[in-house]
Chain A
Amino acid sequence: MQPVIELFGLSKMFGVGDATTVALDDINLTIEKGEFVAIMGPSGSGKTTLMNILGLLDTPTHGEYYLEGKAVTDLSQHKCAKLRRDHIGMIFQNFNLLSRSTVIDNVALPLTYRGNAQAKRLTAASKLLRTFGLNEREYYMPYQLSGGQLQRVAIARALVTNPAIILADEPTGNLDTKSSEIIMSELADIHMQGNTIIMVTHNPDVAIYANRVIQMIDGTVASDSKHPETLNTTGNKRPLSSFRKAMDAAVNANKEFVEATAALLPPKTRGKRKAAAARRKRMAIKSRKAKK
């Protein structure tokens, strides 16, 4: 089967000269259709940059990105926008709904840019909202909804074009525990229906819903652990305990790393000019660790 996403030697750098920051460093990654991937890592590890590139909002400095077998690295902005519209659904930490549009108009927004007629747009949006239990809130304004409801509206918007991949950047970052659970079980449901989801998160409790966890450190993939069994065979929304253990190990490793680097890097040294030097230091620690 054709993988949905293939990345070969993907790098992203910001700035020029001494101030160059390497956000992504030679990433090679393949994501198959139907996977639910959680990308974890400390702040500044390149998770969001990777998401932006996957979502065609940003372009890599080097490397190749194939979306559904098609090279998309050198596409024009116009074509990128169309691919975003038809193949990618995005969910954000702060929901990013249009504050002056109704719930149903927000959900139907991607279809508007596809050029669908209003009746068709609203029918599709209404159908989706019903599956999220929001059919009575269709003509509410975003400020009239709770955080959990807003995120469900955002998920409905991401799904309305039936995209190949769904990108979620900290989907539960702004939600309380209970709402987070609801949102994650919604995403797990969507995943079980065969959708591919790539999610960035800090929270291990959220990451356990995924069947593959990618740990990112300093712009590279530090670990990539797959769930031994796929969720949809058992119908169990919760992952198995063995997977949980593997994940906890990854999370702990991450924590240790963060603590170690934090000790070495006092906050004051984190100026833009010294970013490169700091990065070199961190790389040195990393290689020492690897030798051990």
Chain B
Amino acid sequence: MIRFLSDYKIAVANLKATRVRTALTILGIVIGVASVTMILALGEGDKNMVKTQVNSLGENVLTVRPGKAYRDSSGNITNYNFLAALSASTLTEKDLQSISQIANVETAAPLMLIAGNISDTDGQSQQGTIVASNENAADALGLSMRAGEFLSADTPSHTVVLGDDLAVALIGSDVAIGQKIILRGQSYTVSGILNHSSSSASVSNVFDINQAAFISMDDGKSFNQGIAQIQQINIRVADTSQIGATAQSVQQELLKNHGNEEDFSVLTPEEIVQLTNTVLKVVTSFIGAVAAISIVVGGVGVMNIMLVSVTERTREIGIRKAVGATYFQILSQFIIEALLMSIAGGVIGIAIGYALAYTAGTLMGFMPGVTWPIIGIAFGISIGVGLVFGAWPAIKAARKDPIEALRYFQ
């Protein structure tokens, strides 16, 4: 212990004696550790965002969509082209019924998106989406009412429930019900207006709830020559712990309906969120590769400088050996010196990495995660770099022949 303390003092003195060189070497480590910290913090932030989205979606919601999702051996979705699948939905009302009868399925709501003009009674068009669904939609999508009530089984036809943004745009109020609006040229009565929804991932990439006009399935079919074109079925399960088993039952039931052709996919909340974050994944894995490279480059910098230092101090090593320093005492002196540089670089790098992560996070719209494991990993990497890249120069120093070393001309 005493020796390590004196090794530490020797190392500090030597590093101070070559300030600029030390600072530049540390800079290399700083860049590496900063990028690792940033990537880990962004990854953690991404994970947090997924968690938040899953929570807002509800952990007990399964989503059925047309189109096959390709999964790898561990069950992660590797490829899923739902936009292409939207053009020719394979989901039918029969599927909806089959799903409703499965145990543990509390409610199942179809979503049928209808293209068409939405306008007020004066003919002023507004941007929005016509969505046909059933009375379960409010529950399955987690919608709540600001005014009036949602669609129910005995709601008369030509009744519409509006998202709050669309309501304000069409009728200038988000509480007035009983007003008329025009959907695809037909007059509809507003029976309810929704609370503002922070759009959940299961629907946000299909349509914006705040811009939606919900109508009944029968009204929806009347716009589509009497045929139901269901783009998505949201299922709320009763027992969240059984959600995996329920997903499988849904899968099996639908396979039966579809003649064993898997032209649909049953997605858990996590999978839905995953799909929305693929771009971020590409970005993070790219920065990850850069971080790994810069760590190695930083380490090579440490090794380089340590080798120079060992050569410069050949005579010093000879003197130390002559007065009785053992192999391990010389080894530890140089390892500690390399470690000091890499740890200093690590500490600064973690701080800079978080600063960068916050900047990047602000631009991307989410906060990076600050956790001890990330700091631990980044710190561990910096120690590892010092040990790995400091080892060879230290071994080289410790192996020096004292006679040769003492003869070395400085």
Tell which of B6, B319, B324, B402 touches A118, judged by Cβ atoms closer than 8 Å: B6
Give B307-347 as 1s and 0s: 1 = Cβ < 8 Å from A's Cβ atoms.
Answer: 00000000110111111111111000000000000000000
Smallest Cβ-Cβ distance to A52: which chain B residue: B403
Stretch at the interface among A109-117, A198-206, A210-218, A240-248: A109-117
Give A35-56 as 1s and 0s: 1 = Cβ < 8 Å from B's Cβ atoms.
Answer: 0000000000000000010010
Smallest Cβ-Cβ distance to A120: which chain B residue: B2
Give B290-320 as 1s and 0s: 1 = Cβ < 8 Å from A's Cβ atoms.
Answer: 0000000000000000000000000110111
Whether A115 pairs with B2 at a CB distance below 8 angstroms is yes
Whether B324 pairs with A114 at a CB distance below 8 angstroms is yes
Tell which of B3, B322, B326 touches A57, judged by Cβ atoms closer than 8 Å: B322
- Cβ of A157 < 8 Å from any Cβ of B? yes
* Cα–Cα, bound, A42→B327 (Å): 34
Smallest Cβ-Cβ distance to B17: which chain A residue: A100
* Cα–Cα, bound, A276→B273 (Å): 84
- Cβ of B13 < 8 Å from any Cβ of A? yes
On whether A85 and B324 interact (CB within 8 A), knowing A97-B319, A98-B316, A100-B14, the answer reads: yes
Which DSSP category, helix, strand, loop or mixed, fits chain B's interface? helix
Tell which of B324, B402, B403, B406 touches A113, judged by Cβ atoms closer than 8 Å: B324
Whether B6 pairs with A82 at a CB distance below 8 angstroms is no
Q: How far is the CB of B201 from chain A (nearest CB, A)?
A: 62
Hey, which chain B residues are within 8 Å of A118, CB to CB? 2, 5-6
- Cβ of A65 < 8 Å from any Cβ of B? no
Whether A81 pairs with B2 at a CB distance below 8 angstroms is no
Give A88-125 as 1s and 0s: 1 = Cβ < 8 Å from B's Cβ atoms.
Answer: 10101000111111000000011011111110000000
* Cα–Cα, bound, A27→B394 (Å): 37
* Cα–Cα, bound, A99→B315 (Å): 10
Whether A82 pairs with B326 at a CB distance below 8 angstroms is yes
On whether A81 and B324 interact (CB within 8 A), knowing A98-B316, A115-B2, A115-B3, the answer reads: yes
Q: How far is the CB of B398 from chain A (nearest CB, A)?
A: 10
Whether B406 pairs with A82 at a CB distance below 8 angstroms is no
* Cα–Cα, bound, A100→B17 (Å): 9
Hey, which chain A residues are within 8 Å of B319, CB to CB? 96-98, 109
Whether B403 pairs with A81 at a CB distance below 8 angstroms is no
On whether A78 and B327 interact (CB within 8 A), knowing A57-B403, A58-B403, A96-B406, the answer reads: yes
- Cβ of A77 < 8 Å from any Cβ of B? yes
Q: How far is the CB of A42 from chain B (nearest CB, A)?
A: 19
Tell which of B315, B320, B326 touches A109, judged by Cβ atoms closer than 8 Å: B320
Most buried by A among B6, B320, B327: B6
- Cβ of A33 < 8 Å from any Cβ of B? no
Interface size on B (CB < 8 Å)? Answer: 24
Hey, which chain A residues are within 8 Å of B2, CB to CB? 115-118
* Cα–Cα, bound, A77→B17 (Å): 31
Hey, which chain A residues are within 8 Å of B328, CB to CB? 78
Most buried by B among A82, A84, A92, A116: A84
Whether B403 pairs with A96 at a CB distance below 8 angstroms is no
Hey, which chain A residues are within 8 Å of B318, CB to CB? 96
On whether A77 and B322 interact (CB within 8 A), knowing A52-B403, A100-B13, A115-B2, the answer reads: no
Tell which of B5, B325, B406 touches A81, judged by Cβ atoms closer than 8 Å: B325
Smallest Cβ-Cβ distance to B324: which chain A residue: A85
Hey, which chain B residues are within 8 Å of A98, CB to CB? 316, 319-320
Q: How far is the CB of B319 from chain A (nearest CB, A)?
A: 5
* Cα–Cα, bound, A99→B13 (Å): 12
- Cβ of A86 < 8 Å from any Cβ of B? yes
* Cα–Cα, bound, A113→B329 (Å): 7
From residue 178 to 204 of chain A, which have CB atoms closer than 8 A to chain B? Answer: none
Q: How far is the CB of A8 from chain B (nearest CB, A)?
A: 23
Q: How far is the CB of A84 from chain B (nearest CB, A)?
A: 4
* Cα–Cα, bound, A110→B3 (Å): 11
* Cα–Cα, bound, A171→B319 (Å): 16
Hey, which chain A residues are within 8 Å of B321, CB to CB? 57, 81, 84
* Cα–Cα, bound, A113→B326 (Å): 8
* Cα–Cα, bound, A24→B13 (Å): 41
Hey, which chain B residues are within 8 Å of A100, CB to CB? 13-14, 17, 316
Smallest Cβ-Cβ distance to B1: which chain A residue: A115
* Cα–Cα, bound, A192→B318 (Å): 30
Smallest Cβ-Cβ distance to A76: which chain B residue: B327
Hey, which chain B residues are within 8 Å of A92, CB to CB? 322, 406
Hey, which chain A residues are within 8 Å of B323, CB to CB? 84-85, 90, 109-110, 113, 157
Hey, which chain B residues are within 8 Å of A113, CB to CB? 3, 320, 323-326, 329
* Cα–Cα, bound, A81→B401 (Å): 12
Tell which of B3, B315, B327 touches A77, judged by Cβ atoms closer than 8 Å: B327
- Given A57-B406, A77-B327, A114-B324, output 7 extra A-B contacts at Cβ < 8 Å: A81-B325, A90-B323, A92-B406, A96-B318, A100-B14, A113-B320, A113-B326
Would you give 20 A-B contacts (Cβ < 8 Å), ordered by A? A57-B322, A81-B321, A81-B326, A82-B324, A82-B326, A84-B322, A85-B325, A92-B406, A96-B315, A96-B406, A98-B316, A99-B316, A101-B13, A110-B324, A112-B3, A113-B320, A116-B2, A117-B2, A157-B323, A161-B324
Chain A residues in contact with chain B, CB under 8 A? 52, 55, 57-58, 77-78, 81-82, 84-86, 88, 90, 92, 96-101, 109-110, 112-118, 157, 161
The 8 closest A-B pairs by CB, nearest first: A85-B324, A81-B326, A84-B324, A110-B323, A96-B319, A57-B402, A113-B324, A113-B325
Chain B residues in contact with chain A, CB under 8 A? 2-3, 5-6, 13-14, 17, 315-316, 318-329, 402-403, 406
